[in-house]
Amino acid sequence: MGTSHRLTGVSDAADLAPATIAVTAGRPPREPGQPLSTPPMLASVLHAHPADVGGADNLEYSREGNASFAAVEQVIGALEHGSALTFASGMAAVSASVAVAVRGRPGLVQPLDGYHGTRVLLAEATGLHVVDVDVTDTRAALDALPDGGALWVESPTNPLIGVPDIAALAEGVAAKGGLLVVDSTVATPVCTRPLDLGADLVVHSVTKYLSGHSDVILGAVVTRDEGLLQALLHHRTIHGAVPGPMNAFLAARGIRTLEVRMRTAMATAQVLAERLQAHPAVRRVHYPGLPDDPGHEVAGRQMSGGYGALMSFVLADAAVADAFSEALGLVVHATSLGGVETSLERRGRQHGEAHIDPGLVRMSVGIEDVDDVWADLERALAVATR
């Protein structure tokens, strides 16, 4: 059974920009006859090696690793300046991170507006004392953290699009001998590289922007800690939450265009946020690209590539938000985020969280023409407030 895993993608890609890494990392060797991209490797069993010499280079069974996982792991690791492991879903990545690095600690601090599945898992699976905080309040987050505890943040948070100050949090967590996990699904490595800011683990739902086409479920964990990497690999092999090779292949293909998709979506998001903010039916817009947003200053330092493509805005009440969602013709009314299509949902409809305004709509901005999207939003706002 192979349990070793090479650190990949750090030395060769550290000075390249995300757009270049997204295109070049995780390719087969540049040799005559080699394909340009790694094809889906659908075999579960490979011919055995003569001696028991398992390891990343001597895979014999695809639950331990697979050429298709390795390709997407190399590109994600290179983008995040660490080493990546992929999992069957974002939640499988969250679950493995919790099992390997969080469970057994003296306490856990999590965002009040965290991803619902993660909140449920952290509550059910850790047996820890879990404290909810506003993670954009660095002092509150660190005050709540016991020595040796784990701080779990999302960057930006969802659906309130708060921007935690990762560098300041990392410094405080390190001083307490704790662990900082950053779920960077919404920022993507185009905007933020949490490991460079001092995070111990980065978690991704690759399902979202990295894959980008709403057709893949996949997760990843990235770290620079070789011990954590080996423990995560052991967990994946034993618990079995490996990605499917086709999903790994599709994710790697999606990542090739990550930077151009993000750049277009972020430019559109900025325009839509400004137009929504000026619209009389909109009570408030949460988007760190707006100069008066509470996250603007931290995001300016931390989100070097841009302010992301996720925002939320508040309409009069739940009934208006529902009427608005139903009146849309181009923008998709759906949960999830990060696809090429602009989609939105009224968050209270899903989980009815007390701290979320019932009129709050979360919107994942895609890559359609900005004026076409705006025309749809404006028309639906008019119908809903008629």
Ligand X SMILES: *Cc1c(COP(=O)(O)O)cnc(C)c1O
Active site (catalytic) residues: 63, 115, 183, 208
- How many whole angstroms separate alpha carbon 364 and alpha carbon 208? 10
**Closer CB to ligand X, residue 91 or residue 380?**
91
**Closer CB to ligand X, residue 89 or residue 268?**
89
Produce one character per residue of 156-172: b if its CB has 16 or more CB atoms within 10 Å, e if not: bbbbbbbbbbbbbbbeb
- Beta-carbon-side half-sphere exposure of residue 55 (alpha carbons within 13 Å): 8
Q: How far is the CB of 92 from ligand X (least distance, A)?
A: 7
Q: How far is the CB of 380 from ligand X (least distance, A)?
A: 24
- How many whole angstroms separate alpha carbon 145 and alpha carbon 140? 9
Interface residue list for ligand X (CB under 6 A):
89-91, 94, 115, 117-118, 154, 158, 183, 185-186, 205, 207-208, 217, 219
Residues in the chain: 386
Kindly give, in sequence order, each residue whose CB lies less than 8 Å from that of residue 294, ignoring residues fewer than 6 positions away. 136, 162
Q: How far is the CB of 275 from ligand X (least distance, A)?
A: 25
Q: How far is the CB of 18 from ligand X (least distance, A)?
A: 19
Q: How far is the CB of 386 from ligand X (least distance, A)?
A: 33
Reported in sequence order, the residue ranges of the chain that DSSP labels E, i.e. its strands, are 83-87, 108-111, 130-133, 150-154, 179-183, 201-205, 219-223, 284-286, 310-314, 332-333, 343-346, 360-364
**Closer CB to ligand X, residue 41 or residue 181?**
181
**Closer CB to ligand X, residue 38 or residue 89?**
89
DSSP symbols for 297-365: HHHHHH-TT-S-SEEEEE-SSHHHHHHHHHH-SSSEE-S---SSS-EEEEHHHHH--TTS-TTEEEEE-
- How many whole angstroms separate alpha carbon 216 and alpha carbon 338? 11
Q: How far is the CB of 233 from ligand X (least distance, A)?
A: 19
* Residue 237, token pair as written in the block: 């092999």
**Closer CB to ligand X, residue 197 or residue 380?**
197
**Closer CB to ligand X, residue 90 or residue 359?**
90
Helix (H) or strand (E) holding 248: helix 245-255
- Give the nearest residue (CB) to ligand X: 90
Which residue matches tokens 């939450």? Answer: 241
